Structure 1
């Protein structure tokens, strides 16, 4: 299993912290039961950290006009909204919520050029709440695909996810289904699509990054 490079620092810090705490308990506490309990409480969660930062192998769908999911998780929002940060027009918002056990790596939803990037500090509301899209810590990434249409997607931190990693830089030409970053310990990804896009998922549907088609853009050139 491959571990994401941006998770290695978190894993190391967690290991050192648990080692220090367990070592202190063993050294200062004579009660065997407390020693065992401290070891279990500290070691078991940390042992799963490499799993949380795993990088999956996926059968990627990369076709003109197809927008794939940027994250693993469940579709929690599909609605028409006004996107006022970058697109400044009505759009269809599709939001995917990642729980603690989903893959944390995010992927570009289509091929194109990065036209916009901004990091927003913010709150840490529960990620599935609608207000999280505008009030939580987040990154906003605008992309123009090769037929001229533009989308925006956001990596949104949640209650426990307090570190967003993004590789996007304005002007970069990127390929769909390649890594765009990481949200540590789950959260949510919003995608804002043209209003005439054909939505291919339903509320409550479980989706997989790179493999699940979220939408088909209209007026796409033939492959």
Structure 2
């Protein structure tokens, strides 16, 4: 009926449900489960089998892929990752996201901008989502180290993947997927030229990592250090809006 409030799938009633498991993790989880069952049912080695079975459940949980309700707003920049805001700093964007990449397509302009760093533990959902809707203009993979992702220098020294997106009005956002101590693979779901919607899945990082978001010039963060983010739902900032935030942890 007109005016009826619906859930994120267009139904009248909302209910909790088990989150889907992303295909990237199903094979790993099934292999781990099969190995644990071999130890339990064939060799009867419970000391090994039960811990492996618990690890299998953990693998499935790690690759969970819940649905998200994306905020509707022309200037909203949403979080690309689940996790904790570990740093907010004014920095120069990475060189890989600036200038001409050889195709004639310009990247982010030089000059300091606000960078929001979101740390993902192994308990967070690791599916990353687009902070804005638009065209993927650039995707640059950089090999590197596997230091703790919560260190500031991880932005420049760890294995990482830069993604540059541009809205229809020319506003560009850059963000970087950064591997951590345990993470050993960054998996992209998109490529340059793809058109994606805000909150759409764009990739994942296996096992504990970080995502840096570079806000447009003249835009301040609407979140604070220590705040919990939900990918595709939490609004990080509004394009062109500047404000001073203060908060108290409880």
Assess if the C-alpha contact under 8 Å between 2:217 and 2:240 holds in 1.
no
The partner residue of 2:213 within 165, 168, 191 is 191
- Paired with 2:78 and 2:216, the residues of 1 have a C-alpha distance of 14
Q: 1:9 aligns with which of 10, 27, 34?
A: 27
TM-score for the superposition, normalised by structure 1: 0.88
Equivalent in the alignment of 1:200: 222
- Aligned residue pairs: how many? 211
Alignment of 1:84-95 (within 5 A): 84-86=95-97, 87=108, 88-95=110-117
1:58 match: 68
Alignment correspondent of 1:161: 183
Equivalence for 1:124 = 146
CA-atom RMSD in angstroms: 1.9
Whole-angstrom distance in 1 between the partners of 2:35 and 2:137? 41
Partner of 1:102: 124
The answer to whether structure 1 residue 76 and structure 2 residue 86 are counterparts is: yes
Say which structure is richer in strand.
1
Q: Which sections of structure 2, spanning at least 5 residues, go unmatched?
A: 1-18, 98-107, 242-250
Shift >2 Å, 4+ stretches: 12-20, 22-27
Q: Is the CA contact (8 Å cut-off) linking 1:62 and 1:110 kept in structure 2?
A: no
In 2: Cα distance, 1:45 partner to 1:9 partner: 14
Query: Is the 2:78–2:233 contact (alpha carbons within 8 Å) kept by the matching residues of 1?
Result: yes
Give CA-to-partner distance per residue, 1:161-186, whole Å, 9 cap, x none.
11111122112111100100111113
SS class of match (1:198): coil
Contact 2:21 2:65 in 1 (8 A): yes
C-alpha offsets along residues 15-64 of structure 1, whole Å, 9 cap, x if unaligned? 344456x269927xxxxxxx322122222111222111111121111421
Structure 1 gaps, min length 5:
28-34
Relative contact order higher in (CA < 8 Å, ≥ 6 apart): 1
1:199 match: secondary structure:
coil
- What do residues 143-199 of structure 1 show as CA deviations (whole Å, max 9, x unaligned)? 112221111101111111111111221121111001001111131110011231131
